[in-house]
Amino acid sequence: MSNLKQLAEITRLPILTVYQALEGQASVTAAVRQQVQTAATSLDYTLNITIRDVAALADVSVGTVSHVLNGNTRTRPETRQRVLQAINDLNYRPNSMARGLKSNHTRLIGYGWHKTEDPGRPNALLDRFLYDMAQAAEAWGYHILTFAQPSQISLKRYDELIQTTRIDGLVLTDINYHDERVRYLLKSGVPFVAFGHTNEDWDFPSVEVDGRLGMKLAVEHLIARGHERIGLLCWPEGMRIGDVRVQGYIDVLAAAGIPLYKPWIVRIRNSVDHAFLATQQLLAAHPRPTAIACTNDVMALGVKRYLNQIGLEAGIDVAITGYDDTPIAELVELTSIRQPIDMVAAKVIEILIGEIEGKPVPRRNILLEPTLVVRASSRTQR
Amino acid sequence: MSNLKQLAEITRLPILTVYQALEGQASVTAAVRQQVQTAATSLDYTLNITIRDVAALADVSVGTVSHVLNGNTRTRPETRQRVLQAINDLNYRPNSMARGLKSNHTRLIGYGWHKTEDPGRPNALLDRFLYDMAQAAEAWGYHILTFAQPSQISLKRYDELIQTTRIDGLVLTDINYHDERVRYLLKSGVPFVAFGHTNEDWDFPSVEVDGRLGMKLAVEHLIARGHERIGLLCWPEGMRIGDVRVQGYIDVLAAAGIPLYKPWIVRIRNSVDHAFLATQQLLAAHPRPTAIACTNDVMALGVKRYLNQIGLEAGIDVAITGYDDTPIAELVELTSIRQPIDMVAAKVIEILIGEIEGKPVPRRNILLEPTLVVRASSRTQR
DNA sequence: ATGAAAGCGCTAACAT
DNA sequence: ATGTTAGCGCTTTCAT
């Protein structure tokens, strides 16, 4: 294989002309295009602009081109200008793999997630989160590599990606107490940042949205609307994300001087059907709650469905709040708690790139605040 | 920098022992670990297994290792075995960038998408589609690189990814007539596959789900349930995906001998609110329709909301069908049309990899069939 | 300020 | 059947 310069020598044409001829640009006459084509064919050359072509056109060494590319050493403005011009003329883009091979990084961030059988899992927000991460990463010259994480968490996937130098770091979501991925990554020293956290005694970079505050907002809102008998639908114990939200409920009631009433707290699996049944149970309690807070939107939907079935209306007869403000919440006019996903994504990326590039940011653990979005399901004053 | 073999020579230890010592494995005594550590430090060596280390341990050349790695030439079973053993012992994984630099491919597939302001856009299915693609790609040794596609489509993003050799090919979704991305990619010769299609006269690989059939299924179902006055809520004209679905509606009515009644066809923008208003309009028509088919689930939600507001019940008073079977459909018990997303993803990947590797599959344009999912919103016989 | 050259880890053509 | 070696395109010392 040859390069542009050789072609230029053979055809006795300027390098730039050769390039333009190969690109089929109209600025070059058909005759010249033909001539260059022939020469290229005979040399078995296919157009592929490298740093060497740029160097040849700018009449400098490849080292100099690399320098202006990376803004390292100062280059004489005039030289720099020539190089930039050549880069522009040839529409040159550095080969990411050659770059990576040399400098041993990929500028790729891995993100794996589960298939969500269960439409209500936190990653119903995945679309937004992933998009926002991709966007944030691009500003730093990074991209996101997504991979499928089988529901039975397999460290093998992570190991593979790391060992093959596919990625520089990882983003973790849906983590829980003693998450084995966190344990593994901590041990192997691979840069990563988690959306959420595990047990407090593990130290690793993370971005969290304050779940206790979120639930607090929801329940305070219900109280402000005149409710005092407030039920809670929550996930089974043992999930950090759920436990934190339940704590918010407990806190607010305590602060308001409303005693906790056990029959009003129902722990269920995350589905519309379970929530439907739980609502039936809740409304059979004595006294019956006038409002129901849920640890996520899916459960709230189940509540709503049961209410409809027995002829009650959400927001009028019984107030409901969901959590996560998934798109569905807006569609069915459900009051919910919104997480600042774009902020989470931006922070996750910022912290991760700090870890990757060996310049850790000062605050590696961020706690963001959710906000309350009031809709018809709880708007009415009691 | 040095390698394992040199360390082994200096310490007069077997290569494998040196590796295990560096890994801190318990099979090596603390004393030896210490000795190796010291030697490594003095040589400024950091553990990084390359093909050369494997070759040294298996006592073959790097060429041989590469051969067994790529299954090219036949190697003597015994040699092959030794190499495999060494790879295993050292937990060796080839560096993806070195591999890519040499062979000029990344084994990365680009996928860009819009932020969906509008929760009802087709890519509400993104979560599933992306996951399924990632999964399918992994079976071929590929991964997905996701990037943010600003809503104002900019070819620059695509160009950048291609020119920097970031990706081997692309997957396109949400395409429309005369899509400029398709035009650009077609011209530049970059491998790509689209989910959906543009004008018929453009020839490029694609996977589509038959929208005409989908709507046909929905309307036939309504007719079978005893409906004859069927309204249609659809997107504005000019979107291929919508036009095709409308055609399905027209076809079925024609086949059933039901004349088309213009006031029952309402073209609106894709939102709950627009659908809400359109339903009001539809129900004011004379005669009023007894069923409403929608070109997607979001609109169906708007219909449902209006019905509820005026005290009618979906499925009892007026039948409703949605389209796309987004998670929301199940949650609100909405009859909908399901697209076989997993099949789409698998086919898209299969075709794309065929294009990338220069072995195009025979059928580059696939038309898949959607299925009807009947739920409470249309189950009742009239 | 710029150039020359080594080499990142791998593949594949060629040699033995 | 296996070994040797020349790059892939880039970054980065080290000279000049």
pLDDT in tens, B297-318: 999 999 999 998 898 999 999 9
Facing residue for B130 by CB, picked from A106, A146, A160: A146
Comparing A32-41, A111-120, A247-256, B223-232, the range with the smallest average pLDDT is A111-120
Taking chain B, what is the end-to-end CA distance rounded to the nearest angstrom? 80
**For residue B270, what are the contacts with CB-CB under 8 A and spacing of at least 6?**
B118, B120, B121, B235, B296, B298, B299
Strands B230-234 and B265-267: parallel
- Please provide the DSSP assignment of A293-352 as one string: EESSHHHHHHHHHHHHHTT--BTTTBEEE-SS--HHHHHTT-BEEE--HHHHHHHHHHHH
Q: How far is A132 from chain B (nearest CA, A)?
A: 8
Domain B211-339+372-378: state its class. Answer: alpha beta
CA Rg value for chain A: 29
Kindly report the three-state secondary structure assignment for every residue of A185-220: HHHHCCCEEEECCCCCCCCCCEEEECHHHHHHHHHH
Name the band, by pLDDT with cuts 50, 70 and 90, for residue A157.
confident
Please choose, from the candidates B323, B296, B292, B326, the residue with its C-alpha nearest in 3D space to the C-alpha of residue B307: B292
pLDDT single digits (tens) A2-17: 789 989 999 999 999 9
Q: How far is A323 from chain B (nearest CA, A)?
A: 16
Span B156-183, average pLDDT = 92
Span A87-102, average pLDDT = 95
Q: How far is A252 from chain B (nearest CA, A)?
A: 30
User: What is the domain partition of chain B in residue ranges?
Assistant: 4-94, 102-208+341-368, 211-339+372-378
Question: What pLDDT, on a 0 to 100 scale, did the predictor assign at position A152?
Answer: 67
Q: Which helix (H) or strand (E) holds A89?
A: helix A77-89
Q: Evaluate if residue B194 carries a pLDDT over 90.
A: yes
On chain B, the residues whose CB falls within 8 A of the CB of A130 are 130, 146
CB B167 within 8 A of CB B109: yes
CB B280 within 8 A of CB B357: no
Residue B187's CB is within 10 A of a number of other CB atoms, namely 8
Q: What is the DSSP letter of A378?
A: T
Question: What pLDDT, on a 0 to 100 scale, did the predictor assign at position B379?
Answer: 93
Q: Of B69, B129, B143, which to mutate for an interface test with A (greatest number of A Cβ within 10 Å)?
A: B143
CB A11 within 8 A of CB A36: yes
Q: Evaluate if residue B341 carries a pLDDT over 50.
A: yes
Nucleotide nearest A93, CA–C1', reads: D9
Task: Say if A4-94 and A211-339+372-378 have the same CATH topology.
Answer: no
Q: Does A100 touch chain B (CB under 8 A)?
A: yes
Alpha-carbon distance of B324 to B341, in angstroms, equals 10
Please indicate whether residue B75 or residue B224 has the higher confidence score (pLDDT).
B224
The reply to whether the CB atom of residue B104 sits less than 7 A from any atom in nucleic acid chain C is no
pLDDT single digits (tens) B353-365: 999 999 999 999 9
Name the band, by pLDDT with cuts 50, 70 and 90, for residue A43.
confident
CB B166 within 8 A of CB B145: yes
Q: Which helix (H) or strand (E) holds B111?
A: strand B108-113
The reply to whether the CB atom of residue B62 sits less than 7 A from any atom in nucleic acid chain C is yes
Alpha-carbon distance of A159 to A178, in angstroms, equals 19
Nucleotide nearest B61, CA–C1', reads: D3
Contact A97 B108 (CB under 8 A): no
Q: Does A24 touch chain B (CB under 8 A)?
A: no
Q: Evaluate if residue A115 carries a pLDDT over 80.
A: no
pLDDT single digits (tens) A308-326: 889 899 999 999 999 999 8
Span A287-294, average pLDDT = 96
Question: What pLDDT, on a 0 to 100 scale, did the predictor assign at position B117?
Answer: 52
3-state class percentages of chain A: helix first, strand second, coil last, to nearest 5: 50, 15, 40
Please choose, from the candidates B52, B164, B145, B142, the residue with its C-alpha nearest in 3D space to the C-alpha of residue B96: B142
Q: Evaluate if residue A358 carries a pLDDT over 50.
A: yes
List the helix and strand counts (H, then E) for chain A: 16, 12
Comparing A65-74, B159-168, B363-372, the range with the smallest average pLDDT is A65-74
CB A191 within 8 A of CB A168: yes
The mean pLDDT value of chain B amounts to 92
Question: What pLDDT, on a 0 to 100 scale, did the predictor assign at position A116?
Answer: 58
Chain A: residue whose CA lies nearest to B188: A23
| Half-sphere exposure for B310 (CA within 13 Å, toward CB) | 15
Name the band, by pLDDT with cuts 50, 70 and 90, for residue A119.
very low
Alpha-carbon distance of B359 to B91, in angstroms, equals 32
On chain A, the residues whose CB falls within 8 A of the CB of B349 are none
pLDDT single digits (tens) B17-69: 999 999 988 889 999 999 999 999 888 899 999 999 999 999 999 999 999 99
The reply to whether the CB atom of residue A64 sits less than 7 A from any atom in nucleic acid chain D is no
The reply to whether the CB atom of residue A50 sits less than 7 A from any atom in nucleic acid chain C is no
Q: How far is B97 from chain A (nearest CA, A)?
A: 5
pLDDT single digits (tens) B174-189: 888 999 999 999 998 9
Q: What is the DSSP letter of B168?
A: S
Question: What pLDDT, on a 0 to 100 scale, did the predictor assign at position B347?
Answer: 98
CB A282 within 8 A of CB A231: yes
Nucleotide nearest A67, CA–C1', reads: D11
Name the band, by pLDDT with cuts 50, 70 and 90, for residue A347.
very high
Q: What is the DSSP letter of B324?
A: B
- CATH number at B4-94: 1.10.260.40
pLDDT single digits (tens) B234-273: 999 989 999 999 999 999 999 999 999 999 999 999 888 9
Please say whether the dihedral angle defined by the alpha carbons of residues A276, A280, A282 and A288, taken in this order, is positive or negative.
Answer: positive
Q: What angle do CA B213, B214, B219 make, to 5 degrees?
A: 95
Question: What pLDDT, on a 0 to 100 scale, did the predictor assign at position A114?
Answer: 74
Strands A336-338 and A371-373: antiparallel
Both structure tokens of B70: 């790529």
Question: What pLDDT, on a 0 to 100 scale, did the predictor assign at position A308?
Answer: 87
Any long-range contacts for B96-102 (C-beta under 8 Å, 24+ apart)? Answer: B96/A106, B96/A164, B96/A165, B96/A166, B97/A97, B97/A100, B97/A101, B97/A106, B97/A165, B98/A101, B100/A97, B100/B165, B101/A95, B101/A97, B101/A98, B101/A101
Between positions 208 and 237 of B, the ones with CB within 8 A of A are none
Please choose, from the candidates A132, B11, B77, the residue with its C-alpha nearest in 3D space to the C-alpha of residue B21: B11
The residue type of B145 is: L
3-state SS assignment for residue A18: helix
Residue A104's CB is within 10 A of a number of other CB atoms, namely 11
Q: Of A53, A102, A127, which to mutate for an interface test with B (greatest number of B Cβ within 10 Å)?
A: A127
Domain B102-208+341-368: state its class. Answer: alpha beta
Please say whether the dihedral angle defined by the alpha carbons of residues A235, A238, A241 and A244, taken in this order, is positive or negative.
Answer: positive
Q: Evaluate if residue A117 carries a pLDDT over 60.
A: no
Residue B107: left if φ>0, alpha if ψ -120 to 50, beta else—which one? left
Question: What pLDDT, on a 0 to 100 scale, did the predictor assign at position B153?
Answer: 66
On chain B, the residues whose CB falls within 8 A of the CB of A345 are none
Contact B332 A327 (CB under 8 A): no
Q: Evaluate if residue B120 carries a pLDDT over 60.
A: no
Question: In B248-284, which positions are buried (b, 16+ CB within 10 angstroms) versus exposed (e)?
Answer: bbbbbbeeeeeeeeeebbbebebbbebbbebbeebbe
**For residue A102, what are the contacts with CB-CB under 8 A and spacing of at least 6?**
none
3-state SS assignment for residue B116: coil
3-state SS assignment for residue B62: helix
The reply to whether the CB atom of residue B43 sits less than 7 A from any atom in nucleic acid chain C is no
Span B203-230, average pLDDT = 97
Span B189-211, average pLDDT = 95
Nucleotides of D under 7 A from a protein CB: 1-5, 7-13
The reply to whether the CB atom of residue A199 sits less than 7 A from any atom in nucleic acid chain D is no
Taking chain A, what is the end-to-end CA distance rounded to the nearest angstrom? 80
**C-alpha separations of B378 from B213, B261, B263, B317 in Å:** 18, 21, 22, 10
Q: Evaluate if residue B154 carries a pLDDT over 60.
A: yes
On chain A, the residues whose CB falls within 8 A of the CB of B132 are 115
pLDDT single digits (tens) A211-241: 999 999 999 999 999 999 999 999 999 899 9
On chain A, the residues whose CB falls within 8 A of the CB of B100 are 97
Nucleotides of C under 7 A from a protein CB: 1-5, 7-13
Span A347-371, average pLDDT = 96
Contact A148 B160 (CB under 8 A): no
**C-alpha separations of A22 from A13, A25, A92, A95, B189 in Å:** 12, 8, 14, 20, 15
Between positions 255 and 314 of A, the ones with CB within 8 A of B are 272, 298, 301, 305
Q: What angle do CA A264, A265, A270 make, to 5 degrees?
A: 130
Question: What pLDDT, on a 0 to 100 scale, did the predictor assign at position B118?
Answer: 52
Name the band, by pLDDT with cuts 50, 70 and 90, for residue A113.
confident
Span A103-113, average pLDDT = 93
Alpha-carbon distance of B195 to B181, in angstroms, equals 13
Alpha-carbon distance of A66 to B201, in angstroms, equals 45
**C-alpha separations of A351 from A131, A162, A171 in Å:** 17, 19, 10
Q: Of A88, A96, A111, A118, which to mutate for an interface test with B (greatest number of B Cβ within 10 Å)?
A: A96
